[in-house]
Chain A
Amino acid sequence: MENKWYTISVYSENNVGLLNRISGIFLKRHINIESLNVSKSEIENVSKFTIVVFTTEDWTRKIVAQIEKQIEVIKAFYHTDEETIFQESALFKIKSALLFDEPQIQNAIKESNSKIVTVHREFFVLAKTGRRHEIDEMHDRLEPFGIMQFVRSGRIAVTKAEMRITELLENFQPNN
C-alpha cells in the first residue's frame, strides 16, 4: 500500500493529558505527525484535533481505531485530501526597507493573495493562508531577500461530508 496524506480529525473531551495520550499512539508506531492543530469544535465543550500524517491507509485506519479507543475521545475520522477542504497559515516577518526597495516583493504579495498584518519602521508581517505548496512557493519567493522570521500553522480542515458528531454524542448518553 502506498503512502498518502491523511487528515485525522479527533473530537474529544477537553481534558489535560489527552494530547499526550494521542501523541503516544503515533510515537509507539514510529509514525511522524506532519502537522497538529487543536481547537474548539462546532460543539460546545468538545475539542477537535486535526492531525496530518503521511502513511498508508492501513496504518491510518489502525491509528484512528486506537485513538477512538481512548476513553475521552468521542469520535475519530480520517480523510484523504480530496475529501476535505484544508488550509494552513503562515506568517513572514520581513525587513520594512525591502517593501520599498524590491518591487518583486510587492508583486509576490499581490499575486499570492497575502495580507500585510502590520507594518513597523523596522519590519512588516505578512500573512499567507493556503495549501502547503502555496505557502512553500511564497517562502521560496521571499527567501532570497531574507526572511527575519517564519512560522507555519498546522493544517486545519473541514470535510466535504457530514460528521454527525452531535447525533453520536446523543447516542453516547448512558441509559439512566
Chain B
Amino acid sequence: METLKAQKKDSKKQAAIRITGAEAIIHCLLAEGVDLIYGYPGGAIMPVYDELYKFQDRLTHVLTRHEQGATHAAQGYARVSGKVGVAMATSGPGATNLVTGLADAQIDSTPMVCITGQVPRHLLGSDAFQETDIVGISTPVTKWNYQITKASEIPEIMAKAFYIAKAGRPGPVLIDITKNAQFDKLDFIYEKCTGVRSYKPNPEPDSKAIESAAELINRAKKPYIIYGQGVILGEAEQQLKALVEKAGIPAAWTILGLSAMDTAHPLNVGMVGMHGNYGPNVLTNECDVLIAIGMRFDDRVTGSLDTYAKQAKVIHFEIDPAEINKNVKADVAVLGDAKQTLDLLLPLINKNKHPEWRAEFDKKHEIEYETVIKKDLEPTKPGLTMGEVIEEINKASNNNAVIVTDVGQHQMIACRYAKFSETKSNITSGGLGTMGFALPAAIGAKMGAMDREVVAIIGDGGYQMTIQELGVIFQHNVPVKIVVLNNDHLGMVRQWQELFFESRYASTVMTNPDFVKIAEGYHITSKRVSERSELSSTVQEMIASKDPFFLEVRVEKEDNVFPMIPSGASVSDIRLK
C-alpha cells in the first residue's frame, strides 16, 4: 500500500474524474481489460448493476442462474484464456454462494476476482438484512480479500485485486464493497498495480539450484518428469517440451497438467495419480531422478508418502515456496516461474536418450492395455463404456477440443483418454473435486475461446447440481456441447462402495429425470444415445453443430474405473482390476 502511494506521487498526474463508487468499479474493470463478467444482482450491489446497464456496450454481464455458476464460469473463462475471470454477487446469500467457487479457484490456482455488495458501512455488524461477514467467511479460501467501505479506496484496491489474482501462483481475490461506497463520489484516477511491498510473487531463480538440478538430470539413468498446472500457468509448455526432447525424459501429467504437452508426443507417457496410468504410477517408484515441474504432490498423486519415490532424487521446480518439502522432500528445490527456471536449465542439459527406460513404460502400457484399456475403448459387451464416448469425441474433434469435465468416474475416464494437441484445453475441478463445476465452467470456457470447440463431459449426478445454467446457454446462445454420461448412479462413490463397503449402495442410486426433455425445455437441440451403433454418428452431428447441443449417453450402470490406487496405498500397489 505504501509503495502504491509512493508510485502515485511519482507518476504523471492524470486528470481525476468525479464519479460514484459504482461507476468507478466499472472503470476499474474496463482498465483491467475485462469485457465479460458473470454474476447475479441483488440489493447491496444494485448501484453497480445500474452502471453495468449504462456500460453494456463495453462490458457484457452474463446472468448465471446461481452465484456458484458465476464463479465456475469465471473459472472456466480464466483457465482457457489465461486472463482473470470476474464474478459478481450481492451480499448475504449471494456472497455465500460464491464460496465453493472461491475454494475451487484457490486450490486449483485460478485467477479470479469476485466482487460482492455489502450493507452500508453504518449497518455493518448490526445483523442487517442480507448482511454476512463474507470477508471472514472467504478468508481461508481466497488468496487475498478486502472490504471497501469508502469510495476513495476503490481504484487502489481494485488494481491490487487484479494484480494479486494473476501474480505468481494465481488465485481468487474477493472484494466486498459496502453500498455507501458504491453511492458516494470520489475523484477517480486509475493506475495499474505493479507490486505490493509485502508480496514477492516470483522468487528469483537460484543459479546454484539450477546447476545442481542439471547435474542430477545429466547423470540420471532413469529420469522421470511429472508436470502439473504450473507449466500452463507459467506458459512454459515449449520449455517443457524442449527439456523432454533434449534429455529424452519420459513425462507424465497430473490431472491439471494435462494438455500442457501434446498427448500424442512419444515421450508423453500418461497420467499419474489414483486413476492414472499403470506405468506412470508404478515407475515413479523405479526412476532414479524425479523431476516435478509445477505440481504439488497432492495425496491423490502420491498415495502413501511413506512409500513414494523413496529411491529417487527429487528435483522440484515450483513457484510457491510453501510447496517445497510440504509433502515430498526435495533434494533440489528450484524456486521460480517455470518458464524462467526451465529456460535457465535447458542450456545446461546434455542431449540424451533413455530408450530402455522409455521401453519400461511401453511394457507397463501393454499390461494396462490388455487388462483395462481394451475393455474401455474397444468393448465387446453390449453396454456402452464412458471410454468409447471419449474416443468418439476425440475423433470427431480431431483431438483439438477443450474438454470440460465435472467430478467422478467420467472425469477420470476423460482425463485418461481425451487427446489434446493444444494447451489450456483440459478444464476440470482437480483439487476441490467440485461436482457441478463442468456446466458453468464450459460456458465460461466457450466465451473465453469462441474459436475453440468446447465439450462438457458430465455425470448424471454433477449435472443436476448446476443444471439451471442451461438457462445461460439458451439465453446467450453459447454453443457448448454437453455430453451427460448417464449411469443412473453417483458412479465413483458407488465404485468405492462396491470395492470397500461390500456393495452397500448407500444413496448412490439415482432416479433421473428425462434429461433430453429438460434440455429441450431450454430449446437446446437434444439427443439420447443408448446403442453403440448410434454413438459415432451422433457425436459427429453434435461436433458439427454450430449451436448448443445436448447429448445424453446411456452408459453401463456399474462399470468401474481402473487402474486405481486405493486411498492411502502405495503407487506401486495400483490395482488393475
Contact = CB atoms under 8 A, between A and B. Distances in A.
Interface string A9-50: 000110011001100100010000000000000000100000
Contact of A176 (B194, B321, B324, B325): B194
B489 to A, nearest CB: 33
A134 interface: no
A161 interface: no
A173 interface: yes
A68 B325 CA distance: 15
A66 B195 contact: no
A164 B209 CA distance: 23
Interface in B135-180: 135-136, 139-140, 143-147, 164
Contact of B143 (A65, A71, A174): A71
A63 to B, nearest CB: 10
B322 interface: yes
A172 interface: yes
B3 interface: yes
B128 interface: no
B3 A173 contact: yes
Contacts of A91: none
Interface string B195-229: 11111100000000000000000000000000000
Q: Is chain B's interface secondary structure helix, strand, loop, or mixed overall?
A: mixed
A24 B411 CA distance: 31
B7 interface: yes
A174 B194 contact: yes
Contacts of A174: 3, 7, 194-197
Interface string B272-306: 00000000000000000000000000000000000
A45 B140 contact: no
| Most B CB within 10 A of own CB, among A12, A21, A28, A69 | A69
Contacts of B320: 69
Contact of A74 (B135, B197, B324): B197
B153 to A, nearest CB: 12
A132 B194 CA distance: 45
B194 A69 contact: no
A57 B321 CA distance: 17
Contact of A28 (B140, B198, B324): B140
Contact of B197 (A17, A65, A172, A176): A172
Interface string A67-79: 0110111100000
B356 interface: no
A71 B140 contact: no
Contacts of B3: 173-174
Nearest to A13: B198
A17 B194 contact: no
Contacts of B146: 17
Given A13-B1, A65-B326, A71 B198 contact: yes
Nearest to B198: A74
Interface residues of A, number: 25
Contacts of B199: 71-72, 172
B197 A173 contact: yes
Contacts, number: 64
A66 B324 CA distance: 11
Given A71-B144, A173-B3, A65 B139 contact: no
A62 interface: yes
Interface in B416-455: none
Interface string A152-176: 0000000000000000010011111
B534 interface: no
B321 A68 contact: yes
Nearest to A69: B322
Nearest to B167: A71
B370 interface: no
B2 A45 contact: yes
Contacts of B322: 62, 65-66, 68-69
Interface in A57-106: 61-62, 65-66, 68-69, 71-74
Contacts of B325: 61-62
| Most B CB within 10 A of own CB, among A61, A62, A72 | A72
A22 B66 CA distance: 31
B178 to A, nearest CB: 13
B198 A62 contact: no
A73 B197 CA distance: 9
18 contacts: A12-B198, A17-B136, A21-B139, A21-B140, A45-B2, A62-B325, A69-B322, A71-B164, A71-B196, A71-B198, A72-B198, A74-B198, A169-B197, A172-B197, A172-B199, A172-B200, A174-B3, A174-B196
Interface of A: 12-13, 16-17, 20-21, 24, 28, 45, 61-62, 65-66, 68-69, 71-74, 169, 172-176
Q: Top 8 closest A-B pairs, CB basis?
A: A174-B195, A65-B322, A74-B198, A71-B144, A69-B322, A172-B197, A71-B199, A24-B140
